[in-house]
Structure 1
Amino acid sequence: MRHSVECDILLTSANAVASPGGISIETGQSRSVGSDAVQASRGQDPSLQVGQHWQQAPALDVSDLELLHNFCTSTCYTLQSNPTLKTLWRISAPQLGFAYDFVMRGILSLSALHLAHSRPDQRQEYISKAMQHNHAGLMTMTAVLPNINQKNCSAVYLFSVITFILTLASPRKPGDLLIMGQSGIAEWLTLFRGVHAIVKSFHDELQSGVLGPMFSVGSRRSQLRDAHANELGPAEEDHHLGQLQCVIQQSVTDLHLLTIYMAAIVELRKSFAVAYSEEIAALESSDVFIFLFRVSEEYLNLLKDRTQESLAIFAYFCIITKRIENHWWSQGWSDHLMSQIHDLLDEEHRLWIRWPMEEIGWLPSRGA
């Protein structure tokens, strides 16, 4: 129009007005191929129609897009050491998130905590976003739990894994013992154990589904853990665990309680074996935290009651958590747990945990 030159395309389209209609790009509905040409011939700019459609579109949530981008380009690589599982977190996890809102909420929450860690000047802003997404995800997933099936079991399981990592990455509170809060067994552990009990019914679907590699790698790591425990020699770590076992045997007269404590030490010894036989870079978080899922419900109840023996055993767990603090989401947990445990022990039982304290380099505050 500016140069007073007729457009060949518009002329061709105008000649096709009488032909059958095409498909509208904006709406996907049938319309006349030459409608733009007709509007142009009437002095109407077709681009204005496109602009009107654009103005009616919902606004982009750039904040959430930023979180998803950060997860796919950075966070996903920090969650596992195994290359296959890194790819699973980068590709398969977001794909599940597109299908299930609660999974995407968990992904965005985890990414927000990662950014809070790497951008301290915006820490509170990202923590607030993380809490919002996590709360919304928990609300949705809780409603799904009674209706878990073959189709959604992978999404529910993945969300439980994300919830555990979120617990480790979230700001810590006084009195928080990771698996025990001030009001009892931690909410995440209750959720995780509940989900595991449910998904046992869908073992085959999970093994053959999108999360299959996660279960395959986990099974191999579990076998490695048992193998290392059977081969364990007279290492320094085992010597100190043996001393802890002796003092508990000498102080606990109730045979039932003694059995519970000894079983917990056996599980801890297995975790020690693999934690000290593997290079730190090759150590998976599951090698350490599997202890939390292998101990009995009775031991957890004793820990909830803050018995001195259960706390002393848990202090030794701090040593192996220290070995995976190269991950941003687990940094500081060993010192935090040791501090909480030390405050709960009397003077006699504080002597029981001198080696774990020295091994992680933790010292009580002056006068404690």
Structure 2
Amino acid sequence: MAVTSVRRDASSRELACTYFKAPAARKESTLSTSPAPLQSIVAPPEATYHANQPVSCHGSSPPNFACLRELELMHKFSTETYLSLCNEPTDQHEWQYVIPRKALQHDFLMSGILAIASLHIASTLDPPEALSYIDTALEYHNHAFAPFRQALDNLTPANCDAVLAHSLPQLAREENQSMTENIIVVFELLHGVSKIFTISRPWLQGKLFTSRRGFWEDQLSILDSEIEAALDRLTALNNDVLAPDKADQHHIIKNAIALLRRCFCRYNHARDVASILAWVATVDKEFVHALRCRQPLALLVLIHWGVLLQELDEKVWWAKDSGTALVSELLNALRPCDDFEAHTLDQLLRSYPRGHRVSQLLHELRTGNAYKSSS
């Protein structure tokens, strides 16, 4: 959906809404009409409409379903959902007022906003009530695709802020994807956001993208001894398994661990969403390739990031239970792996001190308790 004053780049700064665990949609939509953009309610009569959009809501007839749904979604976004896109309080004005107003000029951005709000509502409901909102979100997402693609291929000073704002929160979850596959897609999406920011950086005007500096400069905290020891053990395992005769792979894993250490350290100081998502946005593409190839050490590094991701469980609706689901899935994938001696992985997981948030999740998942409770 999604992460340096974008600090180092936009993707490591404003990625508050990458949908790690968006609800799965039905294969066929039940809505009979495509969602109408909000301009059908608030834009002047002379506004130009696409031919495939529903009839305007204006007139003496009672508001139809699409119009009421639009109003409901915009109310949800402007009163609640926008907060889940903010990394810090200073972002709130931009997401609540500036970006929605900019969306009146860019149909794809308005569709993106309404899709996010619809998923937010769906996350609070039980099936079958949630399915209608999931369908609505997917329809808005599909409605935004073509105009967004066109704007992306033709970045200008007039549309770059809207393109970047729409790029940050992306609907990345597919019904048939595992959590690991979903996270890999998120990696690739956020690297794409970084490219958009690089191209449009001289033109950006919004405070979200231009007002801050030095994403890593505020890194004042020192890691507590238990997390430091956990990452040291991971580094030692990388040295033992890959350093002797696989120098390139060893270097890739080493860099990913070093970046993860910085993210743990920054989160310990800032306690913000961006500290966690920065790792996904800035890790090397070679590491993402290693994940796609299911290289065991890469998956083990991702497990450690999943523990950090769990910190978002009570902070934002779009990440709820994602850390636990990711770690449990990865541990199950690693257990039968021939590249690791079973006792080596077991010893690594055993070595985490009990009672710490890193160790608690890993030890519960190791014994199957957390996995059973989350399934």
* Closer, same or farther: CA 343–194 of 1 in aligned 2, 3 Å: same
Q: What is aligned with 2:211?
A: 216
* Closer, same or farther: CA 213–175 of 1 in aligned 2, 3 Å: closer
**Normalization by structure 1: what TM-score?**
0.73
RMSD over aligned Cα atoms:
2.9
* Closer, same or farther: CA 171–73 of 1 in aligned 2, 3 Å: farther
* Closer, same or farther: CA 142–27 of 1 in aligned 2, 3 Å: closer
Asked if 1:324 is matched to 2:312, the reply is: yes
* Closer, same or farther: CA 322–114 of 1 in aligned 2, 3 Å: same
- The answer (yes or no) to whether the contact 2:187–2:288 under 8 Å persists in 1 is no
Which one of the candidate residues 302, 306, 310 is aligned to 2:298?
A: 310
Asked if 1:290 is matched to 2:282, the reply is: no
Distance in 2 (CA, whole Å) between partners of 1:339 and 1:138 is 33
Structure 2 unaligned segments of length 5 or more: list them: 1-43, 47-57, 353-357
- The answer (yes or no) to whether the contact 1:103–1:159 under 8 Å persists in 2 is yes
Distance in 2 (CA, whole Å) between partners of 1:233 and 1:276 is 7
- The answer (yes or no) to whether the contact 1:312–1:353 under 8 Å persists in 2 is no
* Closer, same or farther: CA 54–130 of 1 in aligned 2, 3 Å: closer
SS at match of 1:223: coil
Q: Which has the higher contact order (CA 8 A, sep 6+)?
A: 2
SS at match of 1:61: helix
SS at match of 1:320: helix
Asked if 1:62 is matched to 2:57, the reply is: no
SS at match of 2:91: helix
Q: What is aligned with 1:270?
A: 262
Q: What is aligned with 1:193?
A: 191
Deviation string for 1:289-344 (max 9, x for gaps)? 10012211111101110011000111100121111212111101111111221122
- The aligned amino acid for 1:223 is E
- The answer (yes or no) to whether the contact 1:112–1:126 under 8 Å persists in 2 is yes
State which drifts further: 150-159 or 80-89.
80-89
Distance in 2 (CA, whole Å) between partners of 1:27 and 1:93 is 22
Q: What is aligned with 1:103?
A: 109
Q: How do 1:212-251 residues align onto structure 2 when only pairs under 5 Å count?
A: 212-217=207-212, 219-224=213-218, 227-228=219-220, 232=222, 235-251=225-241
Q: How do 1:13-28 residues align onto structure 2 when only pairs under 5 Å count?
A: none
Deviation string for 1:180-222 (max 9, x for gaps)? 5xxxx51x5434323421331321321xx12x234434x3443
- The answer (yes or no) to whether the contact 1:109–1:134 under 8 Å persists in 2 is yes
Structure 1 unaligned segments of length 5 or more: list them: 1-25, 29-52
SS at match of 1:306: coil
- The aligned amino acid for 1:76 is Y
Asked if 1:117 is matched to 2:120, the reply is: no
Deviation string for 1:59-94 (max 9, x for gaps)? 571111110111011111232252221121100121
